[in-house]
Amino acid sequence: MGVHHYFKSLSDLEKLFRCPGRFKYHEHSVASHSFKVTKIAQFLGTVEEEHGEEIDWKALYEKALNHDYAEIFTGDIKTPVKYASEELRKLFSQVEEEMVTKFIEQEFPPQFQDIYHNRFKDGKDDTIEGRILSVADKIDLLYESFGEIQKGNPESLFFEIYQEALSTILKFQEMHCVQYFLDTILPDMLAEKFIPHSQLNDITNKIIDDSQK
Amino acid sequence: MGVHHYFKSLSDLEKLFRCPGRFKYHEHSVASHSFKVTKIAQFLGTVEEEHGEEIDWKALYEKALNHDYAEIFTGDIKTPVKYASEELRKLFSQVEEEMVTKFIEQEFPPQFQDIYHNRFKDGKDDTIEGRILSVADKIDLLYESFGEIQKGNPESLFFEIYQEALSTILKFQEMHCVQYFLDTILPDMLAEKFIPHSQLNDITNKIIDDSQK
Amino acid sequence: MGVHHYFKSLSDLEKLFRCPGRFKYHEHSVASHSFKVTKIAQFLGTVEEEHGEEIDWKALYEKALNHDYAEIFTGDIKTPVKYASEELRKLFSQVEEEMVTKFIEQEFPPQFQDIYHNRFKDGKDDTIEGRILSVADKIDLLYESFGEIQKGNPESLFFEIYQEALSTILKFQEMHCVQYFLDTILPDMLAEKFIPHSQLNDITNKIIDDSQK
Amino acid sequence: MGVHHYFKSLSDLEKLFRCPGRFKYHEHSVASHSFKVTKIAQFLGTVEEEHGEEIDWKALYEKALNHDYAEIFTGDIKTPVKYASEELRKLFSQVEEEMVTKFIEQEFPPQFQDIYHNRFKDGKDDTIEGRILSVADKIDLLYESFGEIQKGNPESLFFEIYQEALSTILKFQEMHCVQYFLDTILPDMLAEKFIPHSQLNDITNKIIDDSQK
Amino acid sequence: MGVHHYFKSLSDLEKLFRCPGRFKYHEHSVASHSFKVTKIAQFLGTVEEEHGEEIDWKALYEKALNHDYAEIFTGDIKTPVKYASEELRKLFSQVEEEMVTKFIEQEFPPQFQDIYHNRFKDGKDDTIEGRILSVADKIDLLYESFGEIQKGNPESLFFEIYQEALSTILKFQEMHCVQYFLDTILPDMLAEKFIPHSQLNDITNKIIDDSQK
Amino acid sequence: MGVHHYFKSLSDLEKLFRCPGRFKYHEHSVASHSFKVTKIAQFLGTVEEEHGEEIDWKALYEKALNHDYAEIFTGDIKTPVKYASEELRKLFSQVEEEMVTKFIEQEFPPQFQDIYHNRFKDGKDDTIEGRILSVADKIDLLYESFGEIQKGNPESLFFEIYQEALSTILKFQEMHCVQYFLDTILPDMLAEKFIPHSQLNDITNKIIDDSQK
């Protein structure tokens, strides 16, 4: 029993990989995904605040940091399985919740249990912080799939992920931060230069010529 | 549509790792686990045959080769989740079955569909071949956990796996092949020498002394 | 001495990689290659049977499962070395055979030695099962090299492997299963879509437009 | 120019490994280290709050999330180099600061620049949040080195790291959260069971005996 | 104290990777980089000798083998940091030198200290051997970056490295070996064929057609 | 044709691993092994020189750098195969030689062919440089196997390698450098401290106590 087990569990999240076996060029652990989502949520919250929205930063950070913690107990269940039927989905959520509850009651001293029950609740609710989390989670997924597509991974899976992530982001397009993302960040991502191998010849000749002037 | 997708799926099994993030010294893919289980089942069947049992080799090989194929569709769902409730377990089996059925109907030409429905059925039934598969599956798991324990992996998980695997094997102890395993193979596994670092000094001195005689 | 060493040797096959250092995107162990070859042989045998040929399934599975087992003793000898001269090739085969024989005599109890001598013999003979093994071995090699080419590996080695594998398969083109492979599976493999990075812009705009209707 | 480069830089932190080449059993990226430090800081802040201290949660999360971000620009400079002389240390801090400043001015739109200048400042100041960050950073380092020692990594480097981390934590021993760590968490970490290989025999015999009762 | 520590340090160079986290397809350790630079320098020296220049081979080999040894003490400091200011650069060099000096005095017996002080000095001086080292170091870097570009790594970093390496080589273009490199080796590198995925269809059809003649 | 292929082949040596699949903690490429052997040979030559022996440094460096180059053509052939019979060993050497010869004639311009024929000859002859190479090669192998044993790799293979390496070194014990190795370096290697996990408790308590004085 003890917080030691909780601290130790954090490093299990470093070893839990997303979509195991599919990322060819860059694997992503649940730990580093959680970090990136929190940093993206931080930026999105800043955009909202600039537009006059009020952000409960403590809540936003808690939601983002903990949003995938339960994967320690359940492992990587493929999405189609999870959503195969409404009944199965509900049962899975219930089991997940019971496992988290059991963990908190076993490992945390009583005075901290309520706080952690709250922190480990599903954070994607209708509050502005919950919606920012939903968007940030998908922006990171978009970047992860873009990283594979850009390097030439031919698996159509990453196109499906890209499309699904973008479609989910668009469901929140009334938010200031989503507008900012669509107007300012996404175009830069898509405009990334890719200097093909075939231009090496020209570049090389130009450098040699220049050196001889 | 097509058998091409089936052939291609085989290499997905090479990238699907068992207990992701836990094996420190030697990771095991579902593909190579299936290979080892089939080879172990081959030996166990040979022992049974020597004791006068009749083995349906075609059935045994089919069961062993395909016993984890469905993991392509479901991913690595942690055992405690799978067995959290009888209801969930049943629903889960049902989803798995539906996914396999759908795959066969989409990818295989009609003339081969019945054959593959049969091949992808759960093989661990009460026939002698089904029981050999149950034992072979656990013997490989025993070796996998032994490999980690022997190299000093301190995670208690591998002791739990070792114990669970051995207990399951013992449920079949009336079988000739299990008796053979317990009497002849397991003692050799446990007797494996481990030459500690501290003996290097003595060995070194002995070699140097011998060279000077 | 003992079957324990044989069981343990199976996991050595998980650590023995094919063409070490050449596969950039996906490495293949001898264990998982053996698994895939056996599964492919299973399908090819099914096609033959459908065309009225008789298959000795026990023989086919034994041949496929064990066809590369001897690499445990010899390691990865590059093909040009192996075939540098007829004399060298013969000597190598002889050494390989002696090593397998010695292993069986050391590790297996007498009552199983004949069975394993038979199982570890070179399986690529002129029987229908031997020819199916030859084809299945090359189909897996074709897929392995296709996997690298498709992801953009510029090493010409994989084109050479692809060509050599296809040429060998074609030597067996009078077989039903080879006809089936050429007519039905290979075209699907070659038709695999590859959605290039450059289409991301269009796809993205389309998704955004659709979401705003 | 753009926030896209900032978002993209987050995944560079996934590829930046701590103490490159030294961790044998478990490598740690700067991204996942930042995640763990933030989660540990969250717990430490909770302990302080329970003892009546007031925590500025927004400040604490910002400090923890960003505390190693500057490593993107500077790489892994070995500590003895960094601290070789007071002069070098100062110059180095100055260069780091200039690089962060330049990045912010290049990539962030003007309205966000002040906010990010503030977020990327060195967070280990004398505020309670700054001190919690100092402790959390070292607790994670303690766990990282413990992980290697426990698995038998013989490099004395990890003992030095362990000692240095613990000594730094002790400098903050007047804090409630450090007292809690020393009294409740550290003893559990040190009490971790390690079931040695040599006990396998007994365990095995016990399981077999039990199964035969 | 002792030469044992020096021998052991060599294997630290096997674990020190160049540009950590950037090479996607092929990572390069300082040890293997040093090997390649020495082999390239050997060839360049041979070209110079053929043109009548006199080479001090002992000096050339010592310079090439040891040119990055000091990275053991300093780690991977990113170039922009190192060269951020002349003052910082000088201080870094000084610290590096002091660390090497201290290591030699601690680990080597007195009779070898002068020899190793000399061997570990910065080798890129104005002697012909020093200039050959400068060129060989950049030729290996050119090949390393070419390897990534050729395989489709979209990071512009490798184009920058390629250009910087080539520009530095051109600063030595009055040397025979640089002329040889530019005239004979570089064109072959740039002419490397890249058989695209799209040609697989034609090649396949050609092989099938040929087999049926 | 061209020296470009020779330069490119050097990076193949970075991808060729020694004893593939056996080293658990630290893999060694042929490139980095060649580097370490050359550095060790440099030290051994220095010891000999100090004792009045004359060293042909150019020859020594050439022998050490190139001693495993031929493995590019032959791959990793397991030693027992190579030495299975005198006849096979001879044939094998012959094939290796022919492959090297063919490579030189194909890739090198005529004016450099003799030089490279000489450089790629087997270097382990009876000259002092040849004997230093034999010793340096085995010292590196001794360190490689020691590295595995020290970290607890239970495979007896590494004890066999350690013993074989030491025995070979002892065959040259009349050399000054071997005496130096046995008297001064080996004892330091064997005396390496290994601080076990069980001492963590004491160390921790001592640090805490000290901090409270």
Calpha distance B53→B63 (Å, rounded): 18
Burial class (CB in 10 A: 0-12, 13-18, 19+), E70: middle
Q: Is C190 within 8 Å of E200 (Cβ atoms)?
A: yes
- Chain D positions in Cβ-Cβ contact with residue F212 (cut-off 8 Å): 173
Q: Is E18 within 8 Å of E144 (Cβ atoms)?
A: yes
Q: What pLDDT score does B194 carry?
A: 64
Which residue in chain D is spatially nearest to B152 when comparing CA positions? D151
Which residue in F128, D131, F85, D104 sits closest to A43, CA to CA? D104
Q: Is C127 within 8 Å of E125 (Cβ atoms)?
A: no
- Distance from D188 to chain B by nearest Cα, in Å? 15
Calpha distance F90→F69 (Å, rounded): 18
Chains D and E touching, counted as 3 or more CB pairs less than 8 Å apart: yes
- Distance from A188 to chain B by nearest Cα, in Å? 33
pLDDT tens sequence across F11-51: 889 988 887 777 877 889 999 999 999 999 999 999 999 99
Is pLDDT at C204 greater than 80 in this prediction? no
Percent above pLDDT 70 for chain D: 95
Specify the pairing of strand E75-77 against strand F75-77. Answer: unpaired
Is pLDDT at E128 greater than 90 in this prediction? yes
pLDDT tens sequence across A192-209: 866 666 676 777 778 778
Residue F206, Cβ neighbours under 10 Å: how many?
Answer: 11
Encoded tokens for D68: 């190693």
Is pLDDT at F196 greater than 70 in this prediction? no
Which residue in chain A is spatially nearest to E183 when comparing CA positions? A208
Which residue in chain A is spatially nearest to B85 when comparing CA positions? A95
Is pLDDT at E91 greater than 80 in this prediction? yes
In this prediction the ipTM stands at: 0.91
- Interchain proximity D163–F203, CB inside 8 Å: yes
Is pLDDT at A210 greater than 90 in this prediction? no
- Distance from D146 to chain B by nearest Cα, in Å? 12
- Interchain proximity C38–B35, CB inside 8 Å: yes
- Interchain proximity F81–C74, CB inside 8 Å: yes
pLDDT tens sequence across A25-41: 788 999 999 999 999 99
Calpha distance A7→A12 (Å, rounded): 10
Encoded tokens for E69: 């040894």
B10-24, C48-62, E6-20 — most confident range: C48-62
State the best of D16, D95, D155, D157 to mutate against chain E, taking most chain E CBs within 10 Å: D95
- Interchain proximity D35–A40, CB inside 8 Å: no
Tell me which residues of chain D have a C-beta less than 8 Å from any C-beta of chain F.
24, 146, 149-150, 152-154, 156, 159, 162-163, 166-167, 170-171, 173, 182, 186, 190, 194
- Interchain proximity E77–D77, CB inside 8 Å: yes
Percent above pLDDT 90 for chain D: 53
Q: Is F170 within 8 Å of B207 (Cβ atoms)?
A: yes
- Interchain proximity F190–B204, CB inside 8 Å: yes
Q: How far is CA F34 from the centre of its chain?
A: 6
Asked whether the whole model's pTM tops 0.90, one would answer no
- Interchain proximity F190–B200, CB inside 8 Å: yes
Q: pLDDT-derived band of residue A119, with 50, 70 and 90 as boundaries?
A: very high
Q: Is A9 within 8 Å of D35 (Cβ atoms)?
A: no
Q: Which residue has the higher pLDDT, D204 or C136?
A: C136
Of C15, C75, C91, Cβ closest to residue F77 = C75
- Interchain proximity F152–B203, CB inside 8 Å: no
Of D21, D80, D99, Cβ closest to residue E12 = D21
Coil, helix or strand at residue C125? coil
Chains D, F: CB pairs < 8 Å: 42
- Interchain proximity B203–F167, CB inside 8 Å: no
- Chain D positions in Cβ-Cβ contact with residue E82 (cut-off 8 Å): none
Is pLDDT at C50 greater than 80 in this prediction? yes
Q: pLDDT-derived band of residue F144, with 50, 70 and 90 as boundaries?
A: very high
Contacts 24+ apart (CB under 8 A), A134-137: A134/A168, A134/A172, A135/A44, A135/A169, A135/A172, A135/A175, A135/A177, A135/A178, A135/A181, A136/A37, A136/A38, A136/A40, A136/A41, A136/A44, A136/A64, A137/A37, A137/A67
Residues 6+ apart with CB under 8 A from F184: E2, E3, E109
- Interchain proximity B149–D194, CB inside 8 Å: no
Give the gyration radius of chain C's Cα atoms. 21
Domain E3-211 fold:
Hypothetical protein af1432 (1.10.3210)
Of C17, C22, C98, Cβ closest to residue F21 = C17
State the best of F193, F208, F209, F213 to mutate against chain D, taking most chain D CBs within 10 Å: F208
Of A152, A156, A167, Cβ closest to residue C211 = A167
Q: pLDDT-derived band of residue F151, with 50, 70 and 90 as boundaries?
A: confident
